[in-house]
Structures are given as C-alpha cells and as structure tokens.
Amino acid sequence: MIPRWMTFTAVALVTLSLVPLALVARARQQKSEQPRIHLVPDMDNQSKYKTQKASPLFADGRTMRMPVANTVARGELHADDHMYQGKNADGSWATTFPEPMTSAMIRRGQDRYNVYCFPCHGLSGFGNGPVAQRADQLAEGTWVPPSSMHDPVVLGRPVGHIFNTISHGIRNMPSYGGQIPVEDRWDIVAYVKALQKTQNPVVTIAPIPMPTSAPAAAPRKP
C-alpha cells in the first residue's frame, strides 16, 4: 500500500507543474505595458526610436529623416533612357526597340494588350472596346472616346512615344506604369505595331518599265 504522504506529494507536484502553463495562458490573453519575459531576448527588446517619435539626436527633433538628396534605391537606377523612357540620347523619341522584336514579344504583348488595352481600345484597336461602347450608350456627355490605333496621327508616332503613353498616360488616358512592367510595355508596343500593320498594309507595286521604242511589227504570214 502506497503511503499517504507519497500520494499527497504526487498530487502537489502535478498541481505545481500546471502553474507555469496557467501563467503562460494568462499572459497570452492579457495586455500589459511591460515587456514580456524573454529567457533568450534575441534583441526583441532594445532601445530605439519608433516612427513619428521625437528624438533629441537631431536639431529639428525628428526621428524620421529625409532621404539623402539624389539617392537611388538599389535596382532603380534606370539609366538606360531607351529602355525606361523610350527616348534616344538626344531626347528624341526612339524609333527602334531596345531589343530585337520577336514573335514571343508580340504574343506576350497581345496577352497584356487584352488585359489592359482591350477594354477601351478594342481587340482591333479602333477604340471600340466594351467600355467605350457602354459609355456611348449612356451618352452622358463626359466621355472622351479613346484614340484609334489606326488613326494617321497614331500611326506616325514612334515606338518610344507609344511606350511613353503607356508609361505616363496621355490626355484622359491614365498611366499604366504602375501596373505593367517595363518589358511588358515594350511587348505591348510591339503588338500594337503588328496590329497596325494588319489594318494598314503597305502594298508595294514593282514599277513597270516603259518601252523606249515602239515594238517591231510581227511579220505577216504568207
């Protein structure tokens, strides 16, 4: 038979073993202005100034500092004006693509065009997308029809100008630079140029040489 004192001791030890778990559960359910107890701090609690807090370290008393003038974030230099601005070194609009145009570019451009451009400009590029058609039906008088990709003015624009239009918008068209990566913008330009060629083919007729003298008469049959 187990002595009574051993039974009481076992019960007491089991009860005491539950106390830490109870304290942990209580700490997780309550809020406190005091930092938690960390057996291994790991720099969780350290002296620092938080956002919008005052700091005596600087003359203006502000913790938040302005970025150093003319600094550029890593990977955001974008020094290639042709690639990122659609311009040549002299500031004129680029007439060529930063990279050779490929069928893969055109296919990717078509995919992105159907996502971002089709709603207003339509699949054919004539400015008859579903958004434009709906606006015409409402006839509220505030809608500015989107430009047709086949308008002579748009046809004459260099590829750099079209890239800039996608990047920064033009007139009532908003900027899509925040939604469309740079490479995809150039792919869309490639598709637009291909789309323009389908509706505005250039027919070249070989010149017919003019005779310099009258053809000789055929001999008569006897």
Question: What does the alpha-carbon distance between residue 152 and residue 112 come to, in Å, rounded to a whole number?
Answer: 24
pLDDT at residue 56 is higher than 80: yes
Task: Identify the CA nearest to 131 among candidates 149, 112, 144, 113.
Answer: 144
pTM over 0.85: no
Contact 187, 117 (CB under 8 A): no
**Cβ neighbours, 10 Å, residue 148:** 19
Model confidence pLDDT, tens digit, residues 74-110: 878 888 999 999 999 999 999 999 999 999 999 999 9
144's tokens? 């500015």
Model confidence pLDDT, tens digit, residues 180-209: 999 999 999 999 999 999 887 665 555 656
Task: Identify the CA nearest to 129 among candidates 147, 155, 154.
Answer: 147
Check residue 90 and report its DSSP letter.
T
